[in-house]
Amino acid sequence: MSIFEQLSSYDHEQVVFCRDESVGLKAIIAVHNTTLGPALGGTRMLDYPSEADAVRDVLRLSRGMTYKAAVAGLDLGGGKAVIIGDPTTKTEQMFRSFGRFIGTLGGRYITAEDMNTTVEDMGNIRRETRWVTGSEAAHGGSGDPSPVTAWGVFHGIRACLEVTYGSPDVSGRTVVIQGVGNVGYWLAKYLHEAGAKLSYADVSSRRLTRVVDAFGGKVLEGDEFYRAEADVLAPCAIGGIINTRTIPMLRAPIIAGGANNQLDDERRDGEALTQRNISYAPDYVINAGGLINVYSELKSYGREKAMQDAANIFDTVKRVINKAKVEGSTTAMAANRVAEERLAAVQRLKRVWVPS
Ligand code: NAD
């Protein structure tokens, strides 16, 4: 497929190829859709096997950001950037040069941290352009997004409990968390404080000890996470874990966690969960707290407002699950439609010209 055919199949507005041989920079910025606002999404740095892989990745990820911001009700569009190269070769000059390319877009694209990019890299971008988020809290940035992400996940879990059991009350409910890193640890804290009974799975014994010492609960081994007779499974580690191997093991009626790309195949695995009457809170809906946190940085709102906004994920998750029921679709498909309907509605109202 040619690049323009790919742009048309993903429905992109603009893709910018950036090259600065003097600093070894090869980057691609994809602006997917700016109907709702400037395209925001992180920059990842990877030694892609081929340029075609980099193009595919940036197109796929930037479209995902449009949907995530739209469902979360934010005034942001979707974008993403990739720097092609080995992350161990990065330099100040490379990120400053990249910052200047971002600057040429005049705010149509705003960047943030992503895979293999750091607060320091964002700092170097900031030396050249203001269209960057994710600097340290000490420098006016929004700081670690994990507590906000976990707060949104906590409220998404409450929404699933309400749909399944008629009450959002977490007290006495059993929740198993896979991955007790940044997000999983904070989620355990909120759930513990609300009276949930917790179990954890992680490949890191250090992380497991930390969470058990802080909040009590049991440690699960191997596939026990999938087989757990719990009210909620909360995947907060890695993607692809809901798949043809694990779905037959599931006994919990709810899957609601912070990890990205939980379904190995969105359509196939989403349909299998629907058939088994398992409520799945789509990952990009329930883990939008990180994006909400960055948005609060752009608006200079502060952490308290970010937490309040993340709590609204309760309503969004409920709306998506109920829409899926009414339309007889998977929750992932219902979430996509919520995004598309908001985009179309805002697009329509922009037909009216207003003086600027
Ligand atoms: P993290 O690296 O701090 O924590 C991940 C944890 O998962 C670690 O403790 C790790 O040991 C564990 N883990 C890794 N592989 C595992 C496996 N196979 N089985 C069990 N445990 C395993 O990462 P994080 O920031 O907490 O993010 C967790 C997930 O949430 C990721 O998918 C991330 O993309 C997503 N997410 C995070 C944020 C955020 O604000 N940090 C926002 C949105 C989405």
Tens of pLDDT, residue by residue over 109-125, are 999 999 999 999 999 99
Ligand 1 atom nearest 185 alpha carbon: 26
DSSP state, residue 139: G
Predicted local distance difference test score (pLDDT) of residue 135: 64
Average pLDDT rounded to a whole number, residues 10-33:
97
Joined together, the tokens standing for residue 131 give 């269209």
CB 258 less than 6 A from any atom of ligand 1 = yes
pLDDT of 139 higher than 80: no
Buried (b) or exposed (e) across 33-61, using 16+ Cβ within 10 A?
A: bbbbbbbbbbbbbbebeeeeebbebbbeb
The whole-number pLDDT of residue 8 equals: 85
Fold for the domain defined by 146-340 = Rossmann fold (3.40.50)
Q: Does domain 3-63+76-139 have CATH number 3.40.50.10860?
A: yes
Distance 161 CA to ligand 1 centre (A): 23
Checking if the pLDDT of 297 tops 80, the result is: yes
Best of 236, 286, 293 for a ligand 1 pocket test (most atoms within 8 Å of beta carbon):
236
Q: Answer whether 179 contacts ligand 1 (Cβ < 6 A).
A: yes
Place of tokens 């398992």: 278
Residue 180, ligand 1, Cβ within 6 A = yes
Q: Where in the chain is the domain with CATH 3.40.50.720?
A: 146-340
Residue whose Cα lies nearest atom 8 of ligand 1: it is 181
pLDDT category, 48, cuts 50, 70, 90? very high
User: What is the average per-residue pLDDT within 4-14?
Assistant: 89
State residue 141 phi and psi, 5-degree precision. -80, 180
Catalytic residue annotation: 80
Residue 152 has pLDDT above 90, yes or no: yes
The model's pTM: 0.93
For ligand 1, is residue 137 a contact (CB within 6 Å)? no
Calculate how far, in angstroms, residue 35's C-alpha sits from the geometric centre of ligand 1: 31
Mean pLDDT estimate for the chain: 95
Residue 110 pLDDT: 97
- Closest ligand 1 atom, residue 241 Cα: 18
- pLDDT value for 140: 65
Give the residue, 353 or 356, on which the prediction is more confident.
Answer: 353
Q: pLDDT per residue over 154-169, tens digit each?
A: 999 999 999 999 999 9
Residue 95 pLDDT greater than 70, yes or no: yes
- Per-residue pLDDT band for 302 (boundaries 50, 70, 90) equals confident
Calculate mean pLDDT across residues 172-197. 98
Q: Is there an atom of ligand 1 within 6 Å of 149 CB?
A: yes
pLDDT reading at 137 higher than 80: no
Task: Give the model's confidence band at 144: pLDDT under 50 very low, under 70 low, under 90 confident, else very high.
Answer: confident
Do 284 and 64 meet the contact criterion of CB atoms below 8 Å apart?
yes
Distance between CA 60 and CA 56 in Å, rounded? 6
Asked whether residue 64 carries a pLDDT value surpassing 90, the answer given is: yes
- Residue extent(s) of CATH 3.40.50.10860 domains in the chain: 3-63+76-139
Is residue 33 within 6 Å of ligand 1 at its C-beta?
no
Mean pLDDT calculated for residue range 192-218: 98
How far away, in angstroms, is 116 Cα from ligand 1 center?
14
189: number of Cβ within 10 Å: 17
Query: At 337, phi and psi to the nearest 5?
Result: -70, -35
Q: Provide mean pLDDT across the span 36-59.
A: 96
In testing the pocket of ligand 1, which one of 40, 238, 263 has its CB within 8 Å of the most ligand atoms?
238
Mean pLDDT, range 268-290, rounded to an integer: 97
Ligand 1 atom at minimum distance from 287 CA:
43
User: Does residue 203 have its Cβ closer than 6 Å to ligand 1?
Assistant: yes
Distance CA 322, CA 285 (A): 14
Instruction: For 251-271, write each residue's pLDDT tens digit.
Output: 999 999 999 999 999 999 999
Backbone angles phi, psi at 170, to 5 degrees: -90, -20
* Amino acid, res. 292: I
Please report which helix (H) or strand (E) contains residue 254, including its range.
strand 254-255
CA dist., res. 217 & res. 292, Å (int) = 30
User: What's the CA dihedral at 91, 92, 96, 99 to 10 degrees?
Assistant: 70
Question: 216: how many CB neighbours lie within 10 A of its CB?
Answer: 11
Q: In the prediction, which pLDDT does 123 show? A: 92
Query: How does pLDDT run across 212-223, given as a tens digit for each residue?
Result: 999 999 999 999
Ligand 1 contact via 321 beta carbon (within 6 Å): no
